[in-house]
């Protein structure tokens, strides 16, 4: 840890970063249950058409985040972590205010673009943790931030669903208040973590979101697993982008029930990643855990598409106890094939693929839902996006098994 940051300041800073990620995730989850109603109000369209607009809103968010994350990360190396983090928090508060006051669909897109910029704050936030954490504490502190993600996704949708009963703009203003309170808190308590002598000039050529994806070609043993991860994440985009529209249309769910279902997802994921991963992966080993997780995920997506009662959707969420093992298992397998001085490069490639999936997936999934749920569709099948997700996961399983087979005959890096 840098001597410029004393241990007490480091501890308080870790707590602040935890709160920042928690508040950001709560704010993100709060608005999910009410976005469909707001789009329908602004466009006068039904759920099928609203889902199409919703997909492009997700696209705008992910696209801006994809390009903004490396820029903010490199900028924080030049001016310090504190100003970049505070800027992102301010942008987040502005985003929710813009969306809450929006009177046209255009302003929703403006708000989502601002949110993508603010969502890139996770890059300097993790850099801040690395600055203030001793080497032996970094994994523990990163795990704490991971827990904040899970907690935020439990709390946020539940609050959003309840506040949505008071009006579908109320959750946006509540989320804006959370972000601005956190900004004020950080302004007074967050010290700078990067000493001036450790800073470097900003170079736009290094702030390149594609660079790490290109560099990972040096390690061909991991390319197949990366392909499987990309297909898995692309399938997962069916969940946040169409879940609200699908359950409201097919089962008549209210915003409160949608929020409760998403909170249930958060609980299941927290149990799986916080407990089962530590217990099951060592016993099953990474390859078997990933295969079981992929197979379970394919069955879950297919079952969502074919479900006939709302309670089935809740029951099927339990499948994520096993499906959530996919990412940590695959990540561990890849890390075994990459030398120690390229682990960061590997994680950069994984993050880049996740961002690409978040750019491509929502428009595709919402287009499928919108087309097959429309009254004029040749076949009325609102679950088309989940069926497509199941096909993607089956493909991911095939790619993964092929990659593992090739890896077994290749020397370790």
Which tens digits make up the pLDDT trace of 81-96? Answer: 788 888 888 888 888 8
User: Would you tell me how many other CB atoms lie within 10 Å of the CB of residue 351?
Assistant: 18
Most confident segment among 178-182, 192-196, 351-355: 178-182
Task: Indicate whether 178 and 319 sit together in one domain.
Answer: no
Most confident segment among 74-78, 184-188, 406-410: 184-188
Task: Indicate whether 290 and 145 sit together in one domain.
Answer: no
Q: What is the tally of structural domains in the chain?
A: 2
Task: Indicate whether 334 and 302 sit together in one domain.
Answer: yes
Looking at per-residue pLDDT, the higher value among 353 and 176 belongs to 176
For residue 241, CA distances in Å to 145, 203, 341, 397 come to 24, 35, 37, 23
Task: Indicate whether 74 and 139 sit together in one domain.
Answer: yes
Helices within 272-342 (DSSP H only): 277-284, 286-306, 310-316, 320-323, 326-335
Of 136, 159, 189, which closes a domain? 189
Res. 49: pLDDT tops 70: yes
199 part of a folded domain? no
Concatenated DSSP letters of 160-187: HHHHHTT-TTHHHHHHHHHHHHHHHHHH
How much is the pLDDT for 406?
Answer: 62
How much is the pLDDT for 281?
Answer: 75
Of 157, 189, 221, which closes a domain? 189
**Mean pLDDT across the stretch 306-325?**
89
Looking at per-residue pLDDT, the higher value among 407 and 350 belongs to 350
Task: Indicate whether 84 and 213 sit together in one domain.
Answer: no
What proportion of the chain, given as a percentage, has pLDDT over 90? Answer: 15
Looking at per-residue pLDDT, the higher value among 290 and 189 belongs to 290
How much is the pLDDT for 174?
Answer: 87
pLDDT tens-place string over residues 252-284: 998 788 878 878 887 887 777 667 777 787 788
195 part of a folded domain? no
Task: Indicate whether 255 and 184 sit together in one domain.
Answer: no
Concatenated DSSP letters of 216-255: GGG-GGGHHHHHHHHHHHHHHTHHHHHHHHHHHHHH---H
Res. 141: pLDDT tops 70: no
Using an 8 Å Cβ cutoff, are 254 and 166 in contact? no
Task: Indicate whether 39 and 154 sit together in one domain.
Answer: yes
The confidence band for 175, taking pLDDT boundaries of 50, 70 and 90, is confident
We report the CATH number of the domain holding residue 169 as: 1.20.1250.20
Res. 63: pLDDT tops 80: yes
Task: Indicate whether 184 and 212 sit together in one domain.
Answer: no
Task: Indicate whether 145 and 212 sit together in one domain.
Answer: no
194 part of a folded domain? no
How much is the pLDDT for 305?
Answer: 94
**Mean pLDDT across the stretch 371-382?**
87
Q: d(Cα 171, Cα 167) in Å, to the nearest integer? A: 8
The closest of 201, 198, 226, 205 to 348, measured between CA atoms, is 226
**Mean pLDDT across the stretch 381-397?**
95
**Mean pLDDT across the stretch 114-136?**
68
Segment among 33-47, 182-196, 329-343 with least mean pLDDT: 329-343
Task: Indicate whether 212 and 144 sit together in one domain.
Answer: no
Segment among 135-139, 206-210, 401-405 with least mean pLDDT: 135-139
pLDDT tens-place string over residues 3-48: 333 333 456 677 777 777 787 777 777 777 778 888 888 888 887 7
Any idea what DSSP says for residue 45?
-
Task: Indicate whether 354 and 387 sit together in one domain.
Answer: yes
**Mean pLDDT across the stretch 173-177?**
87
Most confident segment among 144-158, 233-247, 381-395: 381-395
CA 145, 148, 149, 150 torsion: positive or negative? positive
Token reading at 176: 């804006």
Residue with tokens 């594609």: 210
327 part of a folded domain? yes
**Mean pLDDT across the stretch 158-162?**
80
161 part of a folded domain? yes
8 part of a folded domain? yes
Task: Indicate whether 15 and 143 sit together in one domain.
Answer: yes
Looking at per-residue pLDDT, the higher value among 211 and 264 belongs to 264
Residue 341 domain boundaries: 208-413
Token reading at 35: 């976005």
């Amino acid at each position: 840890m840098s001597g410029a940051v004393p241990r007490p300041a480091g501890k308080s800073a870790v707590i602040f970063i935890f709160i920042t990620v928690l508040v950001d995730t709560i704010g993100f989850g709060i608005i999910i249950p009410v976005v469909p109603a707001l789009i329908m109000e602004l466009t006068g369209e039904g759920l099928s058409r609203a889902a199409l607009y919703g997909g492009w809103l997700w696209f705008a968010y992910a696209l801006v985040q994809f390009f903004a994350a490396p820029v903010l990360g490199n900028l924080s190396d030049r001016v310090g972590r504190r100003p970049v983090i505070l800027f992102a928090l301010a942008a987040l508060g502005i985003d929710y205010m813009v969306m809450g006051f929006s009177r046209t669909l255009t302003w929703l897109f403006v708000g989502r673009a601002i949110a993508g910029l603010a969502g890139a704050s996770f890059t300097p936030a993790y850099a801040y943790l690395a600055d203030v954490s001793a080497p032996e504490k970094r994994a523990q502190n990163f795990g704490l931030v991971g827990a904040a993600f899970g907690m935020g996704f439990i709390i946020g949708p539940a609050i959003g669903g309840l506040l949505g009963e008071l009006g579908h703009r109320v959750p946006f203003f509540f989320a804006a208040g959370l972000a601005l309170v956190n900004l004020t808190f950080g302004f007074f308590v967050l010290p700078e973590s990067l000493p001036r002598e450790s800073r470097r000039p900003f170079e736009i050529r290094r702030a390149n979101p594609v660079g790490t994806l290109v560099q990972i070609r040096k390690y061909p043993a991991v390319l197949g697993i990366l392909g499987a991860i990309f297909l898995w994440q692309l399938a997962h985009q069916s969940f946040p982008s169409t879940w609200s529209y699908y359950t409201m249309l097919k089962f008549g769910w209210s915003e409160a029930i949608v929020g409760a279902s998403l909170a249930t997802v958060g609980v299941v994921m927290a149990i799986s990643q916080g407990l089962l991963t530590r217990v099951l992966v060592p016993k099953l080993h990474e390859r078997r855990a990933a295969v079981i997780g992929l197979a379970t995920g394919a069955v879950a997506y297919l079952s969502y598409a074919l479900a006939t009662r709302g309670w089935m959707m809740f029951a099927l969420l339990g499948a994520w106890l096993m499906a959530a093992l996919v990412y940590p298992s695959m990540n561990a397998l890849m890390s075994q094939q990459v030398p120690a001085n390229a682990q960061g490069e590997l994680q950069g490639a994984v993050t880049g693929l996740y961002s690409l999936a978040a750019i491509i997936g929502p428009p595709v999934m919402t287009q499928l839902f919108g087309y097959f749920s429309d009254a004029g569709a040749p076949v009325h099948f609102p679950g088309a996006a989940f069926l497509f997700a199941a096909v993607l996961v089956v493909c991911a399983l095939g790619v993964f098994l092929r990659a593992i087979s090739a890896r077994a005959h290749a020397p370790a890096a």
